[in-house]
Every structure is written in C-alpha cells, then in structure tokens.
Amino acid sequence: MTDLQFTDRYAALGMAPPDPATMCHGQCEGTGVYPIHKDDGSLTEAERAAWEAAEKAAPDEDGWHFIKCADCNGTGKSAAAHG
C-alpha cells in the first residue's frame, strides 16, 4: 500500500490557514501572492508587467513567478479586515 501525504498551499508556505472572515478572496486566496506563467494567455496587463519585473529581478528558467496580489497588496487580508 502506498502512503500518501498531502500538503495544502498554506502549510507549503509555512503559514497557518487564514481566517475565512478576514482573508483576501482574490487570486492569492489569503497568501498575498500567487503564481503566474509567462505563456498564460489570460494575464492582465498588470500581471504581465509584474511578471516582467519579477523576471528582470530574478530570472527563472521555468517561466513561473509569484506576484503580489493586487486585491490585498500582498497582505493576504481582505479590504474589510484593514478597517
């Protein structure tokens, strides 16, 4: 029998699961960042610019970068949580 272990995105990032009442419900789902790929045809102009800035700062061969969520400005919290 194979023993499978699952890790969610929060544990993988070393953070506790966010409070659903205060977490950002944007692309980041409470983490403050989310991955985008250079070849994703649905990227917005802002996402493409963020990808290009990330690539310039730290080139990556696989085409993926994590960018800051525009909905929460990278905090992982909803606008209501900020008061």
**Considering the domain boundaries, does residue 60 fall inside one?**
yes
**Considering the domain boundaries, does residue 11 fall inside one?**
no
CA distance 18 to 52: 29
Q: Which of 2, 6, 9 is nearest to 66 (CA)?
A: 9
- Model-level pTM? 0.80
Per-residue pLDDT tens for 21-74? 999 999 999 999 999 999 999 999 999 999 999 999 999 999 999 999 999 999
CA distance 71 to 27: 8
Total domains in the chain come to: 1
**Considering the domain boundaries, does residue 19 fall inside one?**
no
Task: Residue 72: give the domain boundaries.
Answer: 31-83
**Considering the domain boundaries, does residue 67 fall inside one?**
yes
Structure tokens at 45: 């102009």
At 83 the pLDDT is: 60
C-alpha gyration radius of the chain: 15
**Considering the domain boundaries, does residue 2 fall inside one?**
no
At 3 the pLDDT is: 87
CA distance 83 to 81: 5
CA distance 47 to 66: 10
